[in-house]
């Protein structure tokens, strides 16, 4: 499992998540931050510091939020 960053990040992009991630699996995209699902260790540090509650666990995604996981996977696939 991994954490996923949702739409509220697009308006905020405050980056607290970057500073607390112990495995550096979060990167900034043009519109929001993304969590690499293959590197994330599911520690929850990012979720705890997000000021807009934009970070959720993968298994808590609703069907209409699945696209955010797909976007993250695509973002890191091209790295």
Q: Distance between CA atoms of 41 and 10, rounded to whole angstroms? A: 23
Q: What is the pTM of this model?
A: 0.91
pLDDT mean across residues, the chain? 93
pLDDT band at 79, cuts 50/70/90?
A: confident
Topology of domain 3-77, CATH: Alpha-Beta Plaits (3.30.70)
Say which residues have a Cβ less than 8 Å from residue 66's Cβ, sequence separation at least 6. Answer: none
14-44 confidence digits (pLDDT tens): 899 999 999 999 999 999 999 999 999 999 9
């Amino acid at each position: 499992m991994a954490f996923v960053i949702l739409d509220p990040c697009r308006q905020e992009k405050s980056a607290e998540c970057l500073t607390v991630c112990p495995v550096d699996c979060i990167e900034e995209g043009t519109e929001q931050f993304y969590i690499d699902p293959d590197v994330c260790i599911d520690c929850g540090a990012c979720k705890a510091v997000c000021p807009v509650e934009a970070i959720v666990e993968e298994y808590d995604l609703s069907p209409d939020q699945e696209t955010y996981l797909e976007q993250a996977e695509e973002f890191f696939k091209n790295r």
